[in-house]
Chains A and B, each alone.
Chain A
């Protein structure tokens, strides 16, 4: 009979989480013994009918109380700090990560690699490379859970969430949806496949479609008519998008916001929520006309717009992505 206790440790982070887990187990065992052993001892020594000294003891009650409050408290603050530190690390993806988009919809996962490869319910990644996932939901709240890496993030309709990992072990590991999302919630599972970097490249080329994510985005950008207002010499004043990604944007209300992926998504689906200073609220909403996957393609395209004009060759565009 197989009694697995731990999921595989797919990353260095998984090791660190397991260490904290062991510490918590040790703390718990200590507390259990500290309570149960005296309890059992008392149950035997002082059971009714057994001779024992039952005189009212003279104990410094308050001192004892303070002791057994402060010592566990101190230990717990230590455990808190350890957990918080790990969490802080886990919530901040390092830069230069391989960026992959994941879209959750009832009841499947779709992934978009920057090279254009798409997968359903699978995620192929190279060993040793930091992978940052941008998560989007097409419908209800889902949660992208990778037990081998000890990470999980809710995928919430209306915004982008992110999680990241760096696989240090080859193999195939579980993907689970961890937020109840309807009838086939338990069917929304898949596999992460960690491959040798060379093998990963081969896998990419073998499955690569003719267009990359950015190129799909560019196609979408023209099809939906975005270029009509946002590019080159157009009649209607709309903010230019070259180089906008990652920079602060001044808003009509007086503040500024950073143009991250979420901002771009909101600008497409809820254009009048944060109007750029100096512009009229005339952009139509594309809510219902684009899927989350298509929005992510547009986001990828807009991200790729440095300060260069958009008539670059496809080849050099892919170079930029790398």
Chain B
């Protein structure tokens, strides 16, 4: 029984279709396209990112199909290069970066802090339009021939040699970037100024701490990407020369500027996942988090340290050895706060009352896969091994473990966890557990062989390869088809649940957290009366849960 919240009465159980909620108030297309309701904007983002995910996943399927045989026989080299570029660009900027923040963050944050909306609802809608405008530019680039520079756009290939639609793609990323800046800005201000009475910083759920840290990165790092891509595009359009070696320009300067953003960007692509895990592990173990302050501040530490390590992407570019030493040491250090989180989550299970429902399965899956991904990061932080492993499949495996095994898994977990709140329906639990298991198996089969291939020397972005690597590519492609099924299944049953899923009560998981004090789905303005918070989060009791079980 949580003694955290005193709400003044009138939060009613929703059992009838005719009761008003944010979904039913206004059913026209216009009411959706001009909405300023953070909950609707979260859903709009979900639709948008799923479209881009589908395109990028199709590209991945073609890539894995091509790589089953050592020869480049399914598609031409040009096409292959465009496939991996499109896969990377869309997955990073049009799926992963918005995913948890723009979908779950938008939906949950105001409710979680007891607010009626974000600080700037109109800017929130604007961010969605910017995202889609960027997306349209990206689609234009793809439809009219594609880009083949890799998602990293390295100069001088991108600025002076590529014969593909670089500028439109870069413009798409530029515009979408401003959408994510606005999202981050909105979250920061919201958390600072709109917390419910009594909700001190140290009473905030860890979801907020992580998303707040993510937002700081979004806001400070993305502008650097924007200006870097703009400079590259200007160089390409007007044959000017900031990165042009013929004028004394330095192509590696592009890399410094690019990675100054892109390294913090990877923390944008993991912190929100960690945010979800903190919520689900506590709920499904019925225990308060072990080491609240450590987990909270580890998010802040990751955000800060994340800005100091970009050079570890450039150990083989002939930067000074001393720069190498510095970036390597800092890269080892930045792993510490992530380790802190993992240890604390595991310790939270101790003396808990653990239920292996779908969100918990995804949380545990996250820990398993993120640990592998994170540890392999150490191989890359270590200078001498990084020299060998740079630009090989080891890197590909590493980042897929953290981004897909980590972030996407957590995103799935979060979607399942908050689905009842968002839609008012339950998803089918057994299918949920099955999908989680299939994903976990498929994922490991897809990406673990890539570590081995990488150390063997298999370079990345290769259309064709020497025969000795084939066995690993075949395993990887087999895994990819299983992984595909694991992701397809939830799409199907989520859609099914919208009409046929069991109606959800306000708090199906008996979770603490202000968002569960509203009906499922919530009313348009979230709370009838703003709640007052009187204690810390996660006031679970494993003992009480067990008593309930044995009653």
Q: Which residue numbers of A lie inside 8 Å of B, CB to CB?
A: 1-7, 16-17, 20-21, 24, 27-28, 31-32, 35-36, 38-39, 42-43, 46-49, 51-57, 61, 64-65, 68-69, 72-73, 76-77, 79-80, 82-88, 90-91, 106, 139-141, 143, 145, 147-148, 150-154, 156-159, 161, 174, 176-187, 189, 269-270, 273, 287-288
Q: Known contacts A3-B471, A53-B351; is A156 also within 8 Å of B384 by CB?
A: no
B324 — nearest CB in chain A belongs to which residue?
Answer: A87
Does B466 make an interface contact (CB < 8 A)?
yes
Chain A's interface: helix, strand, loop or mixed, by majority?
mixed
* B336 contacts A69, C-beta separation under 8 Å: yes
Of all chain B residues, the one with the shortest Cβ separation from A285 is B246
A152 touches B384 (CB 8 A): no
- CB-nearest residue of chain A to B159: A140
A87-B324, A145-B457, A153-B318 in contact; A180/B150 too (CB < 8 A)? yes
Q: A6-B455, A141-B154, A158-B251 are in contact. Are A86 and B336 (CB under 8 A)?
A: no
Main secondary structure of the interface of B (DSSP, over half): helix
Q: Which residues of B contact A148 (CB under 8 A)?
A: 457
Identify B382's interface contact among A39, A51, A80, A154, CB under 8 A. Answer: A80
Taking CB atoms, residues of chain B closer than 8 Å to A159 are 245, 318
Q: Is the CB of B368 within 8 A of A80?
A: no
| In the bound complex, CA of A247 to CA of B342 (Å) | 55
Contact of B144 with A by CB under 8 A: no
Bound Cα distance A39, B345 (Å): 9
B456 and A2 form a contact (CB under 8 A): no
Are A20 and B382 closer than 8 Å at their CB atoms? yes
The distance from the CB of A148 to the nearest CB of chain B, in whole angstroms, is 8
Q: Which of B156, B294, B343, B375 contacts A157 (CB 8 A)?
A: B156
Min C-beta distance of A41 to chain B, whole Å: 9
Residues A140 and B156 in contact, CB atoms below 8 Å apart:
yes
Which chain A residue shows the least CB distance to B347? Answer: A64
CB-CB under 8 A from B387, the residues of chain A are 17, 87, 90, 150-152
Further pairs besides A158-B250, A176-B457, A186-B462: 4, Cβ < 8 Å: A17-B387, A147-B388, A187-B464, A287-B246
Judging by beta carbons under 8 Å apart, are B77 and A87 in contact? no
- A179 proximity list for chain B (CB < 8 A): 154, 391
Of chain A, the residue at the smallest CB distance from B384 is A86
- Residues 432-469 of B at the A interface (beta carbon under 8 Å): 452, 455-457, 459-466, 468
Q: Is the CB of A153 within 8 A of B316?
A: yes
Q: Which of A5, A42, A56, A157 contacts B455 (CB 8 A)?
A: A5
Is B428 in the interface zone, CB < 8 Å from A?
Answer: no
Is there contact, CB below 8 Å, between B543 and A90? no
30 A-B Cβ contacts within 8 A? A4-B456, A5-B456, A7-B456, A38-B346, A38-B350, A46-B353, A47-B354, A48-B353, A53-B351, A69-B340, A76-B335, A80-B329, A83-B386, A87-B315, A90-B384, A90-B387, A141-B156, A141-B157, A143-B316, A143-B391, A145-B459, A150-B384, A154-B318, A158-B250, A180-B149, A185-B461, A186-B72, A187-B77, A270-B248, A287-B246
Nearest-neighbor residue (CB-CB) of B250 within chain A? A158
Taking CB atoms and an 8 Å cut-off, the chain B residues in 346-367 that contact chain A are: 346-347, 349-356, 364, 367
CB-defined contacts of B383 to chain A, threshold 8 Å? 83-84, 86-87
- Minimal beta-carbon separation of A126 from chain B (angstroms): 23
Q: CB-CB < 8 A to A38: which residues of B?
A: 346, 349-350
Query: With A5-B456, A177-B459 given, is the CB distance from A79 to B349 under 8 Å?
Result: no
| Contact, CB under 8 Å: B461 / A42 | no
Closest to A270 in B: B248
A2: chain B residues within 8 A (beta carbon): 468, 471
Neighbouring B residues of A72 by C-beta, 8 Å: 336, 339
Q: List residues of chain A with CB within 8 A of the CB of B250.
A: 158
Contact residues in B for A174 (Cβ distance below 8 Å):
457, 466
Pick the contact of B350 from A4, A46, A182 — CB < 8 Å? Answer: A46
Nearest A residue to B161 via CB reads A140
B349–A46 touching, CB < 8 Å: yes
